[in-house]
Structure 1
Amino acid sequence: MNRTAGEAANLQLVLDMFAHVLNPMDSSAVDRFIAPGYIQHNQAAEPGREGLKKFLDMIREATPEAVHDVKRAFVDGDHVTVHYHVRRWPDDLGWAVMDIFRIEDGMIAEHWDVMQDVIEGGPNPASPF
């Protein structure tokens, strides 16, 4: 399946946001990627762009060594889905995370996510990645 130019741009926008906002947890870069009317569906974060900035600042202070290791990303029209591994500190098993972003006018306009703990010794030997 071939991507349209718009889909390629949407995917690149989200990957760039990971590189410049989520991995460095840089709240000062949020406005470059996130739309002013940003809709946040994660119930652990306050709504809107300012809520995201506060959330990033809190996470950066609490876990400055956290990483967001992208495993795969998919685009379908104005939606981009990213599957990645979050580790809060170097020896953390972390979380398997799936984010869905909706893009509008070249900015991330909406976000949903689901997370599960990465565990050792469970009944299924397959990795979540």
Structure 2
Amino acid sequence: MGYNAQEQRNLDLVQAMFDHVLIPMDGDAADRFIAPDYIQHNQWVDTGLAPLKAFLRKVRGENPDAVHDIKRRFADGDHVIMHYHVRRFDGDPGFAVMDIFRVENDLIVEHWDVVQDVPSQSPNPHSPF
């Protein structure tokens, strides 16, 4: 898939945010990637950067060995979509996650996500990934 220069910058920004913030669950690194007043649509976290940092600290404390395995990523204009598999611990079937980020002025300014449990058994032979 070919991206224009801005879409590629947006994709690179979100990938870097995953590499430095979400994968290591390092809320302190979030300032480099996420606007202070960003809009959060996740129903488990309040809106803004400070609540996200607190959430990441909490999750890292509860699941220090969590894995975020990125399966695919897309950019379309000012939006970046990441599809990945979260496993909290060894043997965890985990979650299938789809994040949508809106980027403005080289910072993430808005976030939506959809999270689905990955079942241990399914009548569907196709993986969610």
In the other structure, the counterpart of 1:19 is 19
Quote the Cα distance in structure 2 between the aligned partners of 1:2 and 1:86. 27
In the other structure, the counterpart of 2:35 is 35
TM-score (norm 2): 0.98
- Runs of 5+ unmatched residues, structure 2: none
Aligned-partner SS, 1:57: helix
Please state how far the C-alpha of 1:47 moved relative to its aligned partner.
1.3
Q: Tell me the amino acid that sits aligned with residue 110 of structure 1.
A: E
In the other structure, the counterpart of 2:46 is 46
Alignment of 1:1-129 (within 5 A): 1-129=1-129
Contact 1:46 1:55 in 2 (8 A): no
Please state how far the C-alpha of 1:4 moved relative to its aligned partner.
0.7
The total of aligned residue pairs comes to: 129
Quote the Cα distance in structure 2 between the aligned partners of 1:2 and 1:19. 22
Aligned-partner SS, 1:58: helix
Identity value in percent = 60
Please state how far the C-alpha of 1:2 moved relative to its aligned partner.
2.5
Aligned-partner SS, 2:30: helix
Quote the Cα distance in structure 1 between the aligned partners of 2:9 and 2:90. 32
Contact 1:73 1:83 in 2 (8 A): yes
Aligned-partner SS, 2:25: coil
- Runs of 5+ unmatched residues, structure 1: none
Aligned-partner SS, 2:90: coil
Deviations 1:6-57 (A, max 9, x none): 0000000000000000010001101000012200000101210001000000
Quote the Cα distance in structure 2 between the aligned partners of 1:24 and 1:103. 21
